Homo-oligomer: A and B are copies of this chain.
Amino acid sequence: MIKEWELLESRVDRDYRVFRIQSELAVSPRTNKVGTFYTIDTRDWVNVIPVTPDGKIVMIKQYRHGSKEVTLEIPGGLVDEHDPREAAERELLEETGYQGNSAELLGFVNPNPAIFNNLCHTYLIENAQEVSEKTLDPNEDIEVVLMSPEEIPAIIARGGINHSLVIVAFHFFFMKNPCLR
C-alpha cells in the first residue's frame, strides 16, 4: 500500500507568468529521508473538439515555441474563468471565430502528475459555426483547418498530431463516438 509523503515546505522559487516553479521538501514514508522536489504550479488548461453541423472537426495550425515547429492541434488554452467550460467556449471563439452549442465535458487528465499540479479538461462543442473573425493576441498566429474524424487516427499514427493532450482529447472523443473512428 503506497502512502502519501509528508510535505515539510513548499515555496515559489520563480514566477514565469504562465507557470511558477515550486520548490518543495517532502519526507518519504518508506525511507523517512527528506527529498527536494521541483514542481510546476499552473492554472488548469482546457482544450475543445469543435464539430461543425456537417461533422467536420475545427482544428488549428500554429507555431509552438517549445517544440519550435508548426503543429496541428485543437483549440485550447489556460483557464482564466471559474468554470473551465467557459474557457473552452472562449478559446474556440478567440482562436477560430467559431461558436456552437454549450460545451460538454468529455474528460480530464493531469498533464504529468510527477511535476504538474493542474488538470487539462477536454470539451466537445457541437454545431460549431464561423460567427466572427479570430481574436488573436500579438503572440498568436493561427490557421483554421477542417478535418474529418475518420482521418484522425491515421494522422496520429503517422505523427501528424504529436501533442499528447490532443491525442488524449481524441481518445475521449472516440470513446464517446466509437463509430466515427
Complex contacts, A156 vs chain B, CB 8 Å: 171, 175
A contact set with B: CB distance below 8 Å: 1-5, 7, 13-14, 16-19, 21, 24, 26, 28-31, 33, 35, 37-40, 61-71, 107-117, 120, 136, 138-139, 141-143, 153, 156-157, 159, 162-165, 167-168, 171, 175
Contact A142 B2 (CB under 8 A): yes
Contact B33 A113 (CB under 8 A): no
- Assuming the contacts A30-B141, A71-B113, asked whether A16 and B38 have C-beta atoms less than 8 A apart, the reply is yes
Contact A109 B4 (CB under 8 A): no
- Residue in B35, B65, B69 whose CB lies within 8 Å of A24: B65
Q: In the assembly, what is the distance between CA of A121 and CA of B3, in Å?
A: 29
Contact A175 B162 (CB under 8 A): no
Q: In the assembly, what is the distance between CA of A177 and CA of B138, in Å?
A: 44
Nearest-neighbour CB distance to chain B for A55, whole angstroms, equals 22
Contact B114 A112 (CB under 8 A): no
Contact A162 B28 (CB under 8 A): no
A-B contact pairs, 28 of them (CB 8 A): A1-B143, A2-B63, A2-B70, A2-B141, A3-B63, A4-B68, A4-B69, A7-B68, A14-B14, A18-B38, A21-B21, A30-B141, A33-B139, A39-B65, A40-B40, A64-B114, A66-B112, A66-B116, A67-B116, A107-B157, A108-B159, A109-B163, A109-B167, A110-B162, A110-B164, A153-B175, A164-B168, A167-B168
Contact B162 A171 (CB under 8 A): no
Q: In the assembly, what is the distance between CA of A165 and CA of B164, in Å?
A: 7
Contact B5 A63 (CB under 8 A): yes
